[in-house]
Amino acid sequence: MTTPLVIPARLLPADGRFGSGPSKIRRAQIDALVEAGTTVMGTSHRQAPVKSLVRRVREGLAELFSLPDGYEVVLGNGGSTAFWDVATLCLVREKAQHAVFGEFGGKFAAATSNAPFLADSQIISATPGTIALPQPADDVDVYAWPQNETSTGAMAPVRRVPGDGALTVIDATSGAGGLPVDVSETDAYYFAPQKSFASDGGLWLSVLSPAAIERAAQIESSGRWIPEFLSLTTAVTNSRADQTINTPAVATLIMLADQVEWMLAQGGLGWTMARSAESSSHLYAWAESRDWATPFVETPEERSAVVGTIDLDAAIDATEVVRVLRENGIVDVFPYRKLGRNQLRIAMFPAIDPDDVRALTDCIDYVVDALA
């Protein structure tokens, strides 16, 4: 392999970022960052300019998700991974049930299972490429599952399990903003800014129900030791004042606020969902029409509209395809590392133009043909 394989310029997407997180950030968000450069960047997060940024994020998300009465948008530092610890400490009273069908769902299940103050978690698992659903159980007080399993490209419905008293805690890190949701079916719908919200990482955001806020208050007053950084009630108090407990990444907030307002200006969640659905219907139809490509998720309704996984025939080395695409400016379409499949994984978050997804599949056709 000495002569580099050059994809003709006419086939290339306008933007070559298809990574599943960090993901494509729109040019206008970078412009917003530059504009806020000297007025907001490098200024105190306890003063009006940064606090109004946090308020824009909270109010924008409240509108985007049509928040039911009493629900609140809460945020803190540390990304979704930190929220797993927050939820383990502040939302699970005695026992959690997890539906696990990939790496991310598995990590939260491990967090609650390893907590010495909780009973062993109940884990309902399914093989990667399929989904597991929660099942009614009398002894669990939290049901948890990912809306979109970013490691496999499978998505699951977000619907409460019948019964009283248990909280529904949904990992929407990659699903929020691009997949449909009725947040009244959840008590904590949490995510981070570096997926559909096209910003940088480092924050967690969670739409909380009154029951979740109440549960956190009860647990924290019960005497359980909770590090302040991971306290949900502390996060709620700070969020209500448009702050975080410690210094946030201001650039992340600027790009996040811009993305949320862009989504609203385009038509809100209905528009973003339709845009991701347009990209993903194209991707899956394309894969089905090639005899060397197959959608990894077999059941069509479980195929994610925001993260598509496409298996390639064993005769085609996906690593090689990924490498050639990268040399041509199309980046991050490798599969989730631990899945270990001969696969391409393609993000189709709302920031990604469906025309670019169409261009990408043309480029893949070109590369596969050239490598043959």
Binding region for ligand PLP (CB under 6 A)? 21, 79-81, 104, 146, 150, 171, 173-174, 192, 195, 201
Q: What is the closest distance, in whole angstroms, from the C-beta atom of residue 79 to ligand PLP in the complex?
A: 3
Both tokens of 17, joined, read 């970022």
Closer CB to ligand PLP, 97 or 196, in the complex? 196
* Residue (74 or 324) nearer to ligand PLP, CB: 74
Token pair in block for residue 55: 């308020």
- 3-class state of residue 146 by DSSP: strand
* Residue 50 contacts residue 43 (beta carbons within 8 Å): yes
Of the two residues 76 and 79, which places its CB atom closer to ligand PLP in the complex?
79
CB of 90: closest distance to ligand PLP in angstroms? 17
Q: Minimum distance between the CB of residue 222 and ligand PLP, rounded to whole angstroms?
A: 27
* Nearer to ligand PLP among residue 188 and residue 192 (C-beta): 192
Q: What angle do CA 355, 198, 156 make, to 5 degrees?
A: 80
* Closest residue to ligand PLP using C-beta atoms: 79
Smallest gap from Cβ 106 to ligand PLP, in A, equals: 10
326: Cβ contacts below 8 Å, ≥ 6 apart: none
Q: How far is the CB of 175 from ligand PLP (least distance, A)?
A: 7
Q: What are phi and psi of 284, to 5 degrees?
A: -70, -35
Contact 363, 354 (CB under 8 A): no
Q: Output 118 or 249, the one with its CB closest to ligand PLP.
A: 249
Side-by-side strand order, sheet with 307-312: 293-295, 307-312, 343-347
Neighbours of 317 (CB within 10 A): 12
Residue 15 or 171 having the CB closest to ligand PLP: 171
Amino acid at 73: V
Q: Least distance from C-beta 314 to ligand PLP, angstroms?
A: 28
Is residue 347 a contact partner of residue 306, using CB atoms and an 8 Å limit?
yes
